[in-house]
Structure 1
């Protein structure tokens, strides 16, 4: 099909995640950037648009102007969806306006900055019938898809225990909290409740529900700001209970000195344990009771992989597929959905999955404020 035209809000000069999104869309091969409001600063937005080769008349000074301008161009020329890569506090207002203007929305995680904003976002999607996707990237890796097939598919028996952690060290010192990427993440006005548990803990949460196919129902959490003066959590841990009866632990921290991007998960079922780590993403380790350890790897020539993993694998075995390719899987599937060709089990997270991540954040904060009391995620509605 012809590439799906998209517009981007945020992600301009000096941003980290904007270039990731655009590179992923290029790898996907079925998306084309045609417009953007790349910064809240008009000069920076104009420079960003020019650097990206966006036509000057479609490089907008504000997201409101982008939505009005692209809608005025009509369905044959205007953007076909809007990608939102702003700080958290802008996710809901931009998404709601885009949905009401008739645009599908692909937004970065977490869904919003507050539960109230998430509810308004969900209500707008229901009112307009608009398509929404959320970029929980790690669920789009081939070996995570394979882990889901093994665990949620039931072939290994019931889930008994899960251990997931996401540890980073990039905010381990007070002087680390400077620069564009750090400043808004530790600012409640722009980040909302999303400290470490919201920023990276939501990825760990989503990975648990994706691989197990079960809902996290209850949580007992302890969150803290390790460094003086920080207003949001930078470290935390929680116990949780799954809908199928399994139990688990979740750690999310950005003050673990020496750790880079330590997302890792183990799921122990009745018959085997399944283990995956994001820093070695092409290896899925399966240890069966009474049997040899198995190492599963991706590749278009790996006939033993399930359909979910094979569909999102691009290269022969031995060619690593990582973060950018996983992001590309999200853009590829969302573009198909925009054209009414959504695959089964698409790689982007659903709006409901995004709302569940918000419930996780709210429940974790509520539990921590009550000295780790067990708290239902549904109480975060």
Structure 2
């Protein structure tokens, strides 16, 4: 039997993370018109507050497991709108852990490594990658040329792990990954991208022009190993969606309560006020998504990342965030669209969860292939 009952340490960590999220909430709009600014390492309120992730590392044996609780801590970060204390761990770090050698991991494990997959033509479709890594037999270096777009942590990272098409005189053409450190000649970061939502998140384009990196920087992550990182991260993105959805639901319940509308969790929906009935239906959907996220991380702890389970969590999370934030605005009407409250921002922020790290359509394709027994070529 699977039990998702929290340990006492789980509860302490999550409650502390929620408390800190509420402290951070007042800064959530600071980047609405200041997208060129980067998040501070920590807000003043972080002084004296314990680092919940450090506590998780220290007391992990008293928890339900690092994978599960770490995902739920991200839920709380997004509940507050911005993290009270910055933590930059990117997908590039995950690929390094999966595919890097011990020497490569030792060198870069404590750096923030962005991941460079998406390109101007073809988006994140691996078959359309045009960035190249050409092996130079004279210098024994790899020469990288190409562009990447919509890269998270582009400006603030220490290095980027680039997916490129290998051009080697003695090897067949294939996709592989390379670490390009900041300051490498030919590596340039574009301006911050103006976005509909998550305006606080560091997002920019990257370009590589005859960018020479040593052979040591070739992290031999083939496409399969690179995409494996998404099986770890997609449930975490769904946890982000849970955090935004929870914030929207909590705010809307407070506004309804001020108007005299209270839910009755023991009564049939048909007997409830229409607004309460609509939110109660979404509460059930929120609970189902939460269970899907926790189950995906539970499986990952026991067996390794589950491709289909992570896609299920990601698809549900992206859909939930859109449905909840839209419904909350519908319920509150014009008040929901006012910048005096959080809903219109939460609505804009929620859109990303159904897009990055594989759109909802891609997740449904992965799930359908699994159910129907089709290959990517047969169902695309």
TM over 0.5: no
TM-score by length of 2: 0.26
Q: Which has the larger radius of gyration?
A: 2
TM-score by length of 1: 0.25
Q: Which has more helix, going by share of residues? A: 2
Q: Which has more strand, going by share of residues? A: 1
Pick 1 or 2: higher relative contact order, CA cutoff 8 A, min separation 6: 1
